[in-house]
Structure 1
Amino acid sequence: MLVRDLMKAGVCSVSPDVPVGAIVDLLSDRGIGAVPVLEASGALLGIVTEADLLRRLVLADEVPTGWLRSWFEDYDRAAERYARAHGATARDVMTRPVWAVAEDSTAEHAARLLEEHGIQRLPVLRDGRVVGMISRTDLLRALLPAGPAEQPTDTSDQAIRDAISARMRQQVWAEAPLLSVDVRGGIVELGGYHRSDAVRRALCALIASVPGVRRVVDNARELPPGSMSA
């Protein structure tokens, strides 16, 4: 699924000189968590989020730094944080550089950016211009089960076994030479040994997601501590 299928289009934006108070009103009135900051040309400069604005409250609750600790303070970092927390305009408080994603990117790529950078949402670009916004909540729709037309027609036991083997080969942790996989009537039975409990849980999840699998019966045991495993 692509970002364009999940994003919210027609997103609000502000210029860099908009007062912070106006941004607070905008986020509150529209019930949104962030607003992109655009140049007059439409180019993306940054983004102002709820977290950016809440810095004012966080800073007000901080305990003043003691004289000894102040020797080790990063003055530039502290000054930058203060400036962003007390800035008067979008330019002063916005986060930059801002991570963004193209509208024809996959949902998986957008989710990876959010996860890697610990952020909640991404502006969506078309030819360098913002056309929407996609959040973690929007991406949840990509997890909905695929429709019947997307399901494979062959769900025989052999096809299921082949699909399990193919998926296991794609995962470095899934190499399991001491594990047996038997499929009968769509029921997958595991025997032999798992290398660890984490691998056991991951393999069961992998197998259960294969189309045609009705149930996973795990009769395999975990290798004893100190046993040789591949």
Structure 2
Amino acid sequence: MMDRSKRDNHKMLPWPGIRPLDRARALIALDIMTSPVVGVGPDSTLDEVCDLLVTRDLSAVAVIDQGVLLGIVSEEDLIHRAEIGTATRRRSWWFQLFGNNNALASDYLKSHSVHVTDVMTRKVVTVSLSTPIDEIAALLEVNRTRRVFVVNGERVVGIVARADLVRALICARESLPRPVSFHDDASIRREIIGALRSEAWPSIGEADVVVTNGVVAFWGGYLSEQERKASLVLAENTAGVRAVDDHRVPLDIAYTMV
């Protein structure tokens, strides 16, 4: 193996602007991101990256040069390695003859090189400090990635992983107002009907909702099992509701009975 100088290439980039959650506005990347970012320099080796992944229980390490994000080395980048016999299989003779030489060489670098710049993924999803978390959730889903990096200008200042969204969910649920001991049946019914009207999926009508001593009873019919379950959850989440009784039948059965 090439003899490389032993110097500390690990980078911890702090961002002092993290503020506590403010429930008066929508959450943004700044509210939930993890900072500082654990990273290595472009001259780092694969051994350094593996050590960080294992000792700090990380799924990815950023590759950073003077604050600028060059790429990441994640667990996914280390799946196919020659050392453990999982390197990408040699392409067919047809591909070797007529295929892209660049692709073949890239496969070899990815599975054999010990330099992070050869192994890392260069295409990284980034967001700004003010990106709303609903946009972040969409980016995670569309790109099928486990994390996005937060940049301020060109400087990387944080990371938002799926686990950070789960933590935000926990905080949001803990901050929900506690249900009061008593709600008038009429006010409970008005709140449920108003909530149903604000959604696009219900087929239940106003006359099909009855509230007695905090117990909600649904009557009539429903179009789908998912709609039935969703309406039950809507009622359960209404303050003052003690129980929910569902007397509805599927609408196709109801039409048959008429």
The TM-score, its normalising length taken from structure 2, stands at 0.68
Q: Which residue of 2 aligns with 1:173?
A: 201
1:12 partnered with 2:38:
yes
- Aligned counterparts of 1:222 and 1:79: Cα–Cα separation in 2: 60
Deviates more, 1:142-151 or 1:108-117: 142-151
Alignment match of 1:56 (pick from 49, 71, 81): 81
Deviation at 1:146, TM superposition (A): 4.1
State yes or no: 1:223 paired with 2:251: yes
Unaligned runs of 5+ in 1: none
Question: After the TM superposition, which of the residue ranges 79-88 and 91-100 deviates more from structure 2?
Answer: 79-88
Alignment match, 2:160: 134
Instruction: Please give the residue correspondences for 1:99-138 in structure 2 after superposition, counting only pairs within 5 Å.
Output: 99-138=125-164
State the shift of 1:77 in Å.
5.5
- 2:203–2:223 CA contact under 8 A, matched in 1: no
Picking from 101, 104, 121, the partner of 1:95 is: 121
Offset at 1:193? 0.7
Shift of 1:194: 0.9
Distance 1:110 1:153 in 2: 37
Pair 1:188 & 2:221 matched? no
Cα distance in 2 for residues equivalent to 1:86 and 1:94: 12
After TM superposition, the structure 1 stretch with the greater mean CA deviation from structure 2, 27-36 or 124-133, is 124-133
Matched, 1:200 2:228: yes
CA root-mean-square deviation: 3.8
Relative distance call for 1:149 and 1:56 in structure 2 (3 A) is same
Find the counterpart in structure 1 of residue 237 from structure 2: 209
**How many pairs align?**
227
Letter in 2 for 1:14: V
| TM-score, normalising length: structure 1 | 0.75
CA distance in 2, matches of 1:76, 1:214: 65
Query: Deviation at 1:177?
Result: 4.8
Please tell me whether Structure 1 or Structure 2 has the larger radius of gyration of its CA atoms.
Answer: 2
Relative contact order, CA 8 A, sep 6+: which one is greater? 1
Other structure's SS at 1:172 match: coil
Deviations 1:149-200 (A, max 9, x none): 5879995444444443444344433344598222334332211111011221
1:36 and 2:50 are equivalent in the alignment: no
Deviation at 1:8, TM superposition (A): 2.0
**Identical-pair percentage:** 32
Distance 1:224-1:109 versus aligned 2 partners, 3 A rule: same
Unmatched 5+ stretches in structure 2: 1-26
Q: Note the C-alpha offset of 1:126.
A: 3.3
Structure 2: distance between partners of 1:72 and 1:226:
64
